[in-house]
Amino acid sequence: MVILAGAFRSKVIAVVRRIPPGRVATYGDVAAAAGSSRASRAVGNIMRTCRSADVPCHRVIAAGGRLGGFGGNLQLKRELLRAEGILVTGSRVKEFTTRRWTRPAPRNKAT
């Protein structure tokens, strides 16, 4: 099972790296894009423990546009999102539906 967990973590990190600046995705969106639509809590745990500067964890938010965890530092998450032009009021992303990133269609692998 450890191998599967590590493989899922790698997929999650790869998905999060593709979220463009100025856009957000929910934990559920990321879980689905990583191949396990029911694993949003696992995505949250991965984001909470991720310390890689090249992974924009702040772009992953809770359902409905709520900011979610970010290791308890919501002020930092707000600031990072605002720096990318995303309006945040309280603990919610304004215009969530227009800021929400939907993953591109999977690429066809050359055979």
Average pLDDT over residues 97-107: 75
pLDDT computed for residue 106 by the predictor: 52
Is 80 exceeded by the pLDDT of residue 103? Answer: no
pLDDT digit string, tens, across residues 73-88: 888 899 999 999 999 9
Domains of the chain plus CATH, in order, are 2-99 (1.10.10.10)
- Quick check: is 57 catalytic? yes
In angstroms, the CA 8 to CA 34 distance is: 7
List the catalytic residue out of 25, 55, 57, 93. 57
